[in-house]
């Protein structure tokens, strides 16, 4: 759509800047000068100067669906639809018996605080982001590789914008947007009718800007780690709205008590244990509206007590001018994340690969589902990438693994969200625009006749 901007320079005569802007309006779009995303992948992303827009660019890919198409996978891989016709599937979770849980969910209705909120909501509806909220978890059984599941049942219903799921022993924990709920689960159970008990409240409405709550159980099952996103892009709802947000929570399973494990992470949408070191890693969505190449989203190890910058700074000590008053004390200790994924790719799913089904080059590293940009030209993300790891650290550039979510006209056939590795080592991808769960496997699961 629009790609107009005004470079904020205090020395530039304001009228001249205005005239430039008016000229831009007349020309229907000045060049955005987005750089090569490859410059922003890895430990040391190139960070350009902050831009301030007159009209923030909104460039969403129109949702068109897959038709007969399927995603494109790199050599040595195959892709099948595990389940289709879902309602806005956002995350996937695999139970020990191989059953796959698909969380069908969407955010609560966003309140309107400014005229901008009306326009944003209107634009997002083109991207399929306003689908109705099914608020349920569907169970899929026996669909490995052949596309026709033996069983598909509603596993849990009447949830409240759920996202994260974790099984500890015989308890299923579901992270609704406003609380963690516990449900009893027996092996092989296909539907749960129990009401569930609340473990702890989570920061929810009325704003609930970043509503997804990622969930990860500690290996010993005593703690739950929760990714709680910020309540704004960059604090525009007031710092009071950010209480205990933009953080990773550590919740004691037995008591429901919580503490802030790490903070300053704008929107930690996925949590995983790195298998070699046993350290906690997260993917995070960084801030918008200061340029097509700011700020790169990232994948990082999460240190206990660590502060990662938001909202005051990014990538260490790069100050954000939109936050006043600043907090030099916090900025001084802000940790730069380990690995940039490039700007506005919107990572919403992460899976550390420990299986053996995929080719050897995928056996150590993280898959990341990049939902795709809505405010950058050209579009960025809309794919699943693989970040190779060695010795518990990222060890090379991210590789495209699953693409084809955009068609030739830059319309979205689908958008990848949550990821999981199934019992046979296949990679599962929730696609909330294609309303499908895709399964990526190694070559030739069953030879053609």
Partner 1 sequence: MQQRATITEATLIGNADLAPPRKRRGRPMHKILVSFSVAYFTGAFVTDLVYWQMPDVLWERFSIWLIAAGLIMAGVATVAYVIDLAGRRRIDRPAWPRAIGYGLAVLLALTNAFVHSRDGYTAVVPTGLTLSALVIVVLLLTAWVSMAQANRHRIGG
Torsion angle of the four alpha carbons 328, 319, 241, 374, in this order, in degrees rounded to the nearest 10: -170
Three-state DSSP class for residue 359: coil
Q: Is 322 a binder of partner 1 (CB under 8 A)?
A: yes
Q: Is 373 a binder of partner 1 (CB under 8 A)?
A: no
Residues 1-30 within binding reach of partner 1 (CB under 8 A) = 6, 8, 10, 14, 18, 21
Q: Which residue has the tokens 């790719």?
A: 345
Distances (CA, A) of 342 to 37, 284, 303, 379: 5, 11, 22, 12
The nearer residue to partner 1, 211 or 353, going by C-beta atoms, is 211
Residues 337-366 within binding reach of partner 1 (CB under 8 A) = none
Among 58, 82, 127, 234, which residue sits at the site for partner 1 (rule: CB under 8 A)?
234
Region from 133-141, 322-330, 331-339, 428-436 binding partner 1, contact rule CB under 8 A: 322-330
Least Cβ distance, residue 376 to partner 1 (angstroms): 16
Distances (CA, A) of 364 to 178, 337, 339: 34, 20, 16
Give yes or no for a contact between 328 and 88, defined as CB atoms under 8 angstroms apart: no
The nearer residue to partner 1, 54 or 131, going by C-beta atoms, is 54
Q: What is the distance between the alpha carbons of residues 89 and 371, in angstroms, rounded to a whole number?
A: 12
Query: Nearest 5 degrees, angle CA 87-CA 90-CA 91?
Result: 125
From the number of C-beta atoms within 10 Å of its C-beta (0-12, 13-18, 19+), residue 15 rates as exposed
The nearer residue to partner 1, 24 or 247, going by C-beta atoms, is 24
Among 29, 142, 275, 321, which residue sits at the site for partner 1 (rule: CB under 8 A)?
321
Binding-residue pattern over the window 33 to 72 for partner 1, x denoting contact by CB under 8 A: -------------------xxxxx----------------
Region from 78-86, 233-241, 258-266, 347-355 binding partner 1, contact rule CB under 8 A: 233-241
The nearer residue to partner 1, 152 or 376, going by C-beta atoms, is 376
Could you please report the per-residue DSSP string of 99-134?
-EEEEE--PPPPP--SHHHHHHHHHHHHTTTT----
Q: Is 305 a binder of partner 1 (CB under 8 A)?
A: no
Sequence-ordered list of residues with C-beta below 8 angstroms from that of 12, at least 6 positions apart, any chain: none
Residues 182-201 within binding reach of partner 1 (CB under 8 A) = none
Q: Is 237 a binder of partner 1 (CB under 8 A)?
A: yes
Let me know how long the chain is: 449
Among 62, 109, 114, 198, which residue sits at the site for partner 1 (rule: CB under 8 A)?
114
Least Cβ distance, residue 11 to partner 1 (angstroms): 12
Give yes or no for a contact between 162 and 214, defined as CB atoms under 8 angstroms apart: no
Among 70, 138, 231, 233, which residue sits at the site for partner 1 (rule: CB under 8 A)?
233
Structure tokens at 421: 């590795």
Least Cβ distance, residue 241 to partner 1 (angstroms): 9
Site residues (vs partner 1, CB under 8 A): 6, 8, 10, 14, 18, 21, 52-56, 113-116, 232-238, 288-289, 311, 320-325
């Amino acid at each position: 759509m629009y790609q107009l901007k005004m470079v904020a320079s205090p020395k530039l005569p304001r009228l001249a800047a205005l005239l430039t802007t008016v000229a831009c309006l007349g020309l229907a779009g000045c060049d955005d000068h987005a750089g090569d995303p490859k410059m922003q992948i890895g430990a040391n992303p190139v960070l350009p100067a902050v831009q301030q827009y007159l009209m923030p660019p909104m460039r969403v890919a129109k949702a068109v669906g897959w038709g007969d198409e399927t995603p494109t996978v790199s050599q040595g891989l195959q892709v099948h639809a595990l389940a289709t016709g879902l309602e806005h599937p956002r995350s996937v979770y695999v139970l020990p018996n191989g059953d796959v849980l698909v969380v069908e969910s969407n955010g609560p209705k966003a309140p309107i605080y400014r005229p901008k909120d009306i326009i944003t909501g209107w634009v997002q509806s083109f991207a399929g982001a306003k689908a109705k909220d099914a608020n349920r978890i569907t169970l899929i059984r026996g669909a490995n590789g052949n596309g026709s599941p033996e069983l598909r049942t509603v596993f849990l219903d009447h949830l409240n914008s759920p996202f994260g799921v974790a099984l500890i022993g015989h308890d299923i924990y579901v992270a609704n947007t406003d609380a963690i709920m516990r449900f009893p689960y027996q092996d092989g159970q296909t539907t749960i009718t129990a009401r569930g008990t609340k473990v702890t409240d989570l920061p929810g409405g009325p704003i609930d800007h970043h509503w997804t709550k990622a969930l990860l159980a500690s290996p010993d099952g005593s703690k739950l780690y929760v990714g709680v996103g910020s309540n704004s892009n960059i604090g525009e709802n007031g710092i009071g709205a950010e209480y205990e947000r933009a953080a990773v929570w550590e919740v004691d399973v037995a008591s429901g008590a919580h503490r802030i494990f790490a903070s300053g992470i704008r929107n930690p949408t996925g949590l995983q244990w790195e298998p070699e070191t046993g350290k906690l890693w997260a993917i995070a969505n960084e801030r918008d509206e200061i340029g097509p190449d700011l700020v790169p989203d990232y994948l990082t190890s999460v240190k206990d007590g660590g502060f990662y910058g938001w909202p005051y700074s990014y990538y260490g000590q790069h100050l954000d001018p939109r936050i006043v008053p600043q907090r030099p004390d916090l900025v001084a200790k802000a940790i730069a994340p380990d690995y940039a994924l490039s700007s506005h790719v919107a990572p919403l799913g992460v899976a550390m690969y420990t299986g053996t089904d995929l080719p050897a080059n995928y056996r150590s590293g993280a898959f990341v589902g990049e939902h795709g940009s809505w405010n950058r030209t050209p579009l960025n993300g809309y794919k699943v990438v693989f970040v190779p790891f060695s010795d518990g650290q990222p060890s090379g550039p991210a590789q495209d693994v699953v693409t084809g979510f955009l068609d030739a006209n830059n319309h979205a056939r689908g958008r990848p969200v949550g990821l999981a590795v199934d019992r046979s080592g296949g990679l599962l991808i929730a696609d909330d625009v294609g309303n499908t769960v895709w399964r990526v496997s190694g070559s030739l699961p069953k030879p053609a006749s």
